[in-house]
């Protein structure tokens, strides 16, 4: 198995738990993180080695190392010939590896369909060559893949089972030392170093503006443990160190506790939707990467909640639009709605409850059955 970042490690950890229940003697190894290791996974390389952002210097600086890891991994897997390879997301790394392994007779499964419906549709032919089966986390994906001769199964989104339909906000606030009537803003600047570099300072400047206008607002940051020092440094540079509560991990607790979240586009936005939280989605990257992304984008939305709802149910502020002033204003709009337009908050919550029901499937059983079918084919 290969998972390339924190979100992939989370998904792979959930899948490994189900696979080990089906095959207790299973040996799983490759590239992964702490959630996978907690399920007995042997990580030959840590998942953060594959984490890269955009198409600019971030990619160029890491390219040689990442290609070197893939060559070493391919050589090892060629020698060991596993019964199955599962690539978890990370398509830029995994699809080429899967194609090479499949040519050698190794069966391949890709968990999380690359977002060909959002950008880079040319990947469809690569997927067809590379994988025996795709485990899809969104319900519309199998039909799209079938049009291109790609076998796929909708297994639901594992997070929809992990996250309760009705989160316990009171318990979450108690765990974080927050009062029941506090106005709480969760700040999630990303799970990659480059995301934190591009977003954290702006997010904290927005938080400073929010607190200047509403002194009672509490801001909480669930820091990815490996990035906590970088996040704390960004908070200090923004003169927000003492005014922001930074906790190690605990993103689900923080999302359950908050009234609104200022959040980097990515899997975390879906987690926020499953916690039924209003949000302001933002993203920034290098100018070159942004130009490439904008040309390849197929839909008007970037955030997963908006893509799945097929409309802007929450605001997105991207690239130059993601100013501290604009971010703060969008967050304050949600806080105003909490006190003055509760029907607006209730309408969004109802949309997210429906989304939760759509994504909530017995992912472990469905994914394990699909994998067993591939092994027996």
Residue 128 above 80 pLDDT?
yes
pLDDT confidence bin for 26, thresholds 50/70/90: very high
Q: Residue 290: what pLDDT?
A: 53
Report whether 148 contacts 353 (CB < 8 A).
no
Q: Which domains does the chain have, with CATH numbers?
A: 2-156+361-376 (3.40.50.2000), 169-358 (3.40.50.2000)
- Take residue 280 and report the two structure tokens written for it: 């302001």
How long a stretch of residues is the chain? 377
d(CA 133, CA 256): 35
Helix axes 267-274, 342-359, angle to 10 degrees: 110
pLDDT confidence bin for 59, thresholds 50/70/90: low
Its sign, for the CA torsion 315, 277, 230, 178, is positive
Residue 299 above 70 pLDDT?
no
Pairing label, strands 184-188, 260-264: parallel
Report, as an integer, the average pLDDT of 218-223.
94
Chain centroid to Cα 350, Å, comes to 22
Report the phi/psi class of residue 187: left, alpha or beta, with left for phi > 0 and alpha for psi in -120 to 50: beta
Strands of the sheet containing 279-283, edge to edge, are 244-248, 218-223, 184-188, 260-264, 279-283, 316-318
pLDDT 10s digits, 129-180 = 999 999 999 998 999 899 999 999 999 998 898 899 999 999 999 999 999 9
Nearest residue to 178 (alpha-carbon basis) of 257, 108, 117: 257
Residue 209 CB burial class (10 angstroms; 0-12, 13-18, ≥19): middle
pTM value is: 0.79
Residue 240 above 80 pLDDT?
no
């Amino acid at each position: 198995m290969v998972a390339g970042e924190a979100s992939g490690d989370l998904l792979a950890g959930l899948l490994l738990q189900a696979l080990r229940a089906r095959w207790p003697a299973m040996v799983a190894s490759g590239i992964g993180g702490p959630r996978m290791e907690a399920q007995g996974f042997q990580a030959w390389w840590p998942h953060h080695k594959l984490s890269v952002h955009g198409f600019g210097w971030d990619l160029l600086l890491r390219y040689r190392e990442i290609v070197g890891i893939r060559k070493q991994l391919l050589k090892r897997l060629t020698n060991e010939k596993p019964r199955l390879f599962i690539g978890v997301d990370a398509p830029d790394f995994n699809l080429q590896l899967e194609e090479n392994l499949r040519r050698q007779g190794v069966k391949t499964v890709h968990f999380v369909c690359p977002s060909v419906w959002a950008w880079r549709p040319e990947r469809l032919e690569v997927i067809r060559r590379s994988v025996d089966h795709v485990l899809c986390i969104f319900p519309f994906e199998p039909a799209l893949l079938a049009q291109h001769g790609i076998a796929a199964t909708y297994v639901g989104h594992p997070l929809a089972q992990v996250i309760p339909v009705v989160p316990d906000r009171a318990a979450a606030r108690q765990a974080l030392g927050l009062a029941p009537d506090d106005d709480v803003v969760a700040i999630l600047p990303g799970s990659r170093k480059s995301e934190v570099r591009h977003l954290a300072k702006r997010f904290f400047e927005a938080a400073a503006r929010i607190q200047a206008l509403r002194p009672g607002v509490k801001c909480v940051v669930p820091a990815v443990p490996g990035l906590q020092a970088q996040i704390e440094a960004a908070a200090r540079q923004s003169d927000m160190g003492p005014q922001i509560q930074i906790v190690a991990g605990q993103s689900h607790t923080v999302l359950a506790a908050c009234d609104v979240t200022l959040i980097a586009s990515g899997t975390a936005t879906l987690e926020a939707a499953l916690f039924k939280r209003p949000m302001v989605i933002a993203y920034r990257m290098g100018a070159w990467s942004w130009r490439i992304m904008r040309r390849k984008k197929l839909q008007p939305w970037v955030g997963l909640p908006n893509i799945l709802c097929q409309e802007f149910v929450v605001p997105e502020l991207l690239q130059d639009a993601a100013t501290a002033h604009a971010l703060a204003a969008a967050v304050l709009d949600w806080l105003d709605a909490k006190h003055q337009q509760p029907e607006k908050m209730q309408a969004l919550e109802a949309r997210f409850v429906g989304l939760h029901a759509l994504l909530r499937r017995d992912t472990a059983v469905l994914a394990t059955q699909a994998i067993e079918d591939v092994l027996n084919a």
